[in-house]
């Protein structure tokens, strides 16, 4: 990874957390709450700015990861003046729900805007290459045993011309268990390989290769771009939820990544081009919004659960109990973060 792609990764992740906290900030100010601090990063402050007449100190800190907004009255250790109308606890339950929900909502809104912009400029559409160039060969597959290699161009199979992967599938699917001649071009030389396709679960013959693809960037009409801006974040949410359920079933953290792992992924996509960079930022924005909506202590979803209890019972939960629950949840999340960050670094 080059230094520019690493910087782009840090910038992208930082913008996502700023967007998230910006949602909390704007909602809190809209309901007249006093916001004491909007911090980008942690550690010693390198830059501070407080607009004239504003209660908020905006600061950038030495460790430019994550961000936070300090709303007056949210810290359980603060003394609450019941007559102060700008404190978070003194606002109505609706105002507090919107303020908490605004962070994840801002991430989903950012994801939708990214999809809309990319769709208008050119949405990536991967098509199989012509001719049929092998991209990968599955280890232990019939193709691997016959020494077919990535980069080989399949010209003919069973004496039939092969133009693309569709032609290859037509020939191969009916040849399960039958030795078949595949003529390939390797560095300008024609080579004949005898491959016996194996039977897949659905009864088709397969040899265990994937085709090289060519990515085209197709601008979408504004109506289609608007539809994609709504549908795509929802689809990604469903996929990510399914992934979380699978991880829970397997009782593993293998699919969880921390800031270092996310940075690596973003840097890799940034190296591929601006569209790939923006799309991975979109996916991470959805992931950040979804993660914070999970009904877990210390997350926005956990706070919304307590607010939901207040709506249903029409009485507030015990503040000390809620503070303890969120503290325990925070310590657990920090422990998981340390674990996955260590694994991302050593891995």
Catalytic residue positions?
21
- What is the per-residue DSSP string for 257-309? --HHHHHHHHHHHHHH-HHHHHHHHHHHHHHHHHHHHSS-TTSHHHHHHHHHH
Q: How many helices (H) and strands (E) does the chain have?
A: 9, 12
Residue 148, both tokens:
């077919």
Pairwise CA distance, residues 126 & 346, whole Å: 33
Neighbours of 208 (CB within 10 A): 20
CA-wise closest residue to 105 among 23, 14, 30 = 23
Helices (H), 31-130: 93-122
Residue 308, both tokens:
């939901």
Residue 69 bridge partners (DSSP): 38
Each as own residue / partner, the long-range contacts of residues 224-232 (CB below 8 Å, 24 or more positions apart, any chain) are 224/119, 225/115, 225/116, 225/119, 225/120, 226/116, 228/115, 228/116, 228/119, 228/123, 229/112, 229/113, 229/115, 229/116, 229/119, 230/112, 232/111, 232/112, 232/115, 232/282
């Amino acid at each position: 990874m080059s230094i520019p792609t690493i910087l782009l990764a840090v910038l992208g992740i930082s913008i996502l957390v700023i967007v998230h906290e910006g949602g909390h900030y704007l909602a809190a100010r809209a309901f007249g709450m006093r916001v004491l601090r909007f911090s980008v990063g942690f550690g010693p402050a390198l830059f501070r700015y407080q607009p004239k007449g504003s209660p908020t100190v905006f600061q950038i800190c030495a460790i430019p990861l994550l961000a936070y907004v300090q709303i007056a009255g949210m810290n359980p250790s603060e003394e609450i003046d019941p007559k102060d109308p700008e404190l978070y606890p003194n606002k109505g339950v609706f105002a507090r729900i919107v303020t908490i929900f605004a962070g994840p909502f801002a991430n989903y809104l950012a994801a939708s805007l990214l999809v809309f912009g990319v769709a208008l400029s050119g949405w990536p559409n991967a098509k199989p290459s012509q001719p049929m160039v092998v991209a990968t060969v599955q280890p232990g597959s019939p193709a691997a045993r016959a020494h077919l290699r990535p980069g080989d161009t399949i010209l003919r199979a069973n004496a039939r011309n092969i133009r693309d992967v569709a032609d290859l599938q037509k020939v191969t699917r009916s040849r399960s268990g039958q030795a078949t001649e595949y003529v390939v071009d390797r560095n300008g030389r024609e080579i004949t390989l005898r491959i016996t396709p194996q039977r897949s679960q659905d009864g088709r013959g397969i040899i265990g290769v994937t085709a090289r693809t060519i990515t085209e960037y197709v601008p979408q009409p504004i109506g289609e771009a608007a539809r994609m801006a709504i549908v795509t974040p929802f689809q990604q949410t469903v996929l990510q939820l399914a992934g979380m359920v699978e991880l829970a079933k397997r009782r593993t953290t293998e699919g969880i990544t921390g800031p270092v792992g996310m940075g690596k992924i973003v840097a890799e996509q940034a190296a591929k081009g601006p569209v790939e960079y923006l799309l991975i930022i979109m996916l991470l924005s959805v992931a950040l919004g979804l993660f914070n909506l999970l009904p877990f202590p210390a997350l926005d979803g956990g706070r919304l659960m307590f607010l939901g209890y207040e709506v249903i019972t029409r009485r507030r939960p015990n503040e000390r109990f809620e503070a303890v629950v969120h503290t325990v949840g925070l310590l657990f999340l920090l422990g998981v973060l340390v674990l996955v960050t260590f694994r991302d670094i050593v891995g």
